[in-house]
Structure 1
């Protein structure tokens, strides 16, 4: 009887402890195989620290559906503890007065983050977001068996790219695996724009310079994109990005333009870099680096304007070297902290880290317009609408140039 009574006492005590634990509600859009495995690392780390993780995952590679859900939650007074937000949107949410700063957790962040990234995580001089990792956008993924079959090599120029695409088509495979969603179309368009040179990208995408946006080079961007479209399969419209990646994995698709989260899908399928697939900078972009930085912002809870212990613990965990390493190993990214060893990473990640460091030094390290890291949401959305319409119609490239220049004026 004594042992039963003791066991019951411990059970009740444990239940009370669980009930007293802070619940951390987290909104994000990491739902594919590799992404789910990566976010589980964070959940497990928080569980070990005694916090109760409440997952609110909303499918959709670029987060549009998640942002709609987030706005609904905030307006209804039920904001999550943390939400996946990035780029200018961090400041936009901060300006609404609904976030809490996490300065208490950011003791060494300024020293360990690339200056450009550190600035993006702040609003009014305070850290409002915790960054996870850096994803390089301007990658081209190639099935190695397909490449060997046609006797090709990773293309460094657009003529080489189209010659390889022709070989893939002649061999009976889809040359370019594409997911027909607006953000995926933007990924291709933005990458082609980057191929016109760092100065062009800076003036067109960062400065929104009208002369550059209406230049012959921008016309060439749309012309190259139109030619790439000729190598898609007829079933690409509406396809999720990871299904397009699966085409490259199984060999039915030869190449894919996609950020390095695609590598998480290859890893999840037990495929190895340089053995089963090739990662190469997209044609004409080897000396530049477009990036997106995953990050969480932290919302006021119960009307309190200071971060809760759980929010601070979550921010600290995200930026801890151990978590940074393990998360990126699963996600396909590279750590955003500059002091994390790359010894456990594969060749693609090491190439990405080297490219990042070189791009930072050469001033060709650029936030991605396609992934919301560069321009305010209204401007980015207007440009995306132009690109989406172009890629789903027979619109003349010259007309698309006129429209994209007009869209850049939207505020």
Structure 2
């Protein structure tokens, strides 16, 4: 994300443009990714994948047991979490680390305010949006959902939260699609063992990050190897084979979905639709919404709110605006 652009601005990145032209990257890689892999007209990074964060991961056996159905709205989600709680299951698996909390808040803001609001607040850093009633309502919704975590959530790693859902100790996790890699590793199958839904109210939009190999200036005797790595990374065969296992989707939109499971096929279709419809948004929590200083300020405020150091939604909005202003 913005880290690649920082290095490019410092003049230390190599130039993959010749390779990119030969391989047709500009036609197959979404414009939203090219914003970070191309600098000053030159390709400086090779995107490995596209991850998206606005997902729910649900244990199907627990869902069936409680008679749950796919939540279409935030209110539906809360009703579903209530059902899990009544059945004695941990409703929401979460790791209490600032990036996990902020990643979930990305989805809540998109769900609460809609695509245009998310873009204005978290990509354009529009002051009016950041200090709006909609942002306050987003913090209210965060306060509501956080009541459904177990008492031991603080400091838990994300994959341990995923394991809670895999084992059926918890019903749902709100997490990026790297969580699917854990289900795949545990030999679990979509629609049989687990369910993947977009966070309620975010269908049609994708909040993304991407893993990229940034390519630095290297001596001439290493350039051929660098080109070989970049070419292999963006080859259709690698993009398919790697992302099938990782849970993410290919960074190029012309890779067939043949080898992907149901969640992967949905992810690929969603990315294509969001790319064409202008609803592909950089995740603020994941370093694609704004530069690192702003992302860190955001994660800090969200985490303080989750852990009770910021007491009210009004105060959270005030501190978010102040923290982002300071970070600018």
Structure 1: which 4+ aligned runs deviate by more than 4 Å? none
User: Aligned equivalents of 1:307 and 1:260: distance in 2?
Assistant: 34
* Larger-gyration structure (1/2): 1
User: Aligned equivalents of 2:252 and 2:275: distance in 1?
Assistant: 14
**Deviation (angstroms), 1:361:** 2.5
Preserved contact between residue 105 and residue 313 of structure 1 (Cα < 8 Å): no
User: Aligned equivalents of 1:111 and 1:404: distance in 2?
Assistant: 38
The residue number in structure 1 matching 2:237 is: 322
Preserved contact between residue 285 and residue 298 of structure 2 (Cα < 8 Å): no
Match status 1:268 vs 2:185? yes
Preserved contact between residue 177 and residue 233 of structure 1 (Cα < 8 Å): yes
Preserved contact between residue 138 and residue 257 of structure 1 (Cα < 8 Å): yes
**Deviation (angstroms), 1:138:** 0.2
Query: Under a length normalisation based on structure 2, what TM-score does the superposition of the two structures give?
Result: 0.95
Match status 1:88 vs 2:16? no
**Deviation (angstroms), 1:117:** 1.3
Match status 1:203 vs 2:117? no
The residue number in structure 2 matching 1:121 is: 37
**Deviation (angstroms), 1:102:** 2.1
**Deviation (angstroms), 1:105:** 2.7
**Deviation (angstroms), 1:381:** 1.2
User: Aligned equivalents of 2:28 and 2:79: distance in 1?
Assistant: 43
Match of 1:251 among 140, 160, 168: 168
Q: Deviations 1:146-190 (Å, cap 9, x if unpaired)?
A: 000000112111111111111111111110000111110111111
Match status 1:286 vs 2:200? no
**Deviation (angstroms), 1:208:** 1.0
Preserved contact between residue 109 and residue 118 of structure 1 (Cα < 8 Å): no
Aligned residues: 323
Q: Deviations 1:54-87 (Å, cap 9, x if unpaired)?
A: xxxxxxxxxxxxxxxxxxxxxxxxxxxxxxxxx1
RMSD between aligned residues: 1.4
Match of 1:144 among 41, 60, 65: 60
Match of 1:348 among 252, 263, 267: 263
Q: Secondary structure at the match of 2:210?
A: strand
Q: Secondary structure at the match of 1:142?
A: strand
1:5-404 to 2 correspondence within 5 Å? 87-106=1-20, 107=22, 108-195=24-111, 196-301=113-218, 304=219, 308-394=223-309, 395-404=311-320
Q: Secondary structure at the match of 1:278?
A: strand
User: Aligned equivalents of 1:398 and 1:245: distance in 2?
Assistant: 32
User: Aligned equivalents of 1:162 and 1:116: distance in 2?
Assistant: 32
**Which structure 1 segments of 5+ residues have no match?**
1-86
Q: Secondary structure at the match of 1:255?
A: strand
**Deviation (angstroms), 1:347:** 1.0
User: Aligned equivalents of 2:286 and 2:220: distance in 1?
Assistant: 29
Preserved contact between residue 386 and residue 400 of structure 1 (Cα < 8 Å): yes
User: Aligned equivalents of 1:374 and 1:215: distance in 2?
Assistant: 19
User: Aligned equivalents of 1:146 and 1:235: distance in 2?
Assistant: 21
Query: Under a length normalisation based on structure 1, what TM-score does the superposition of the two structures give?
Result: 0.76
**Which structure 2 segments of 5+ residues have no match?**
none
**Deviation (angstroms), 1:212:** 1.1
**Deviation (angstroms), 1:104:** 3.5
**Deviation (angstroms), 1:99:** 2.2
User: Aligned equivalents of 1:289 and 1:312: distance in 2?
Assistant: 30
User: Aligned equivalents of 2:273 and 2:16: distance in 1?
Assistant: 30
Preserved contact between residue 298 and residue 307 of structure 1 (Cα < 8 Å): no
Q: Deviations 1:183-239 (Å, cap 9, x if unpaired)?
A: 101111111001020111011111111111111110010011011110011111111
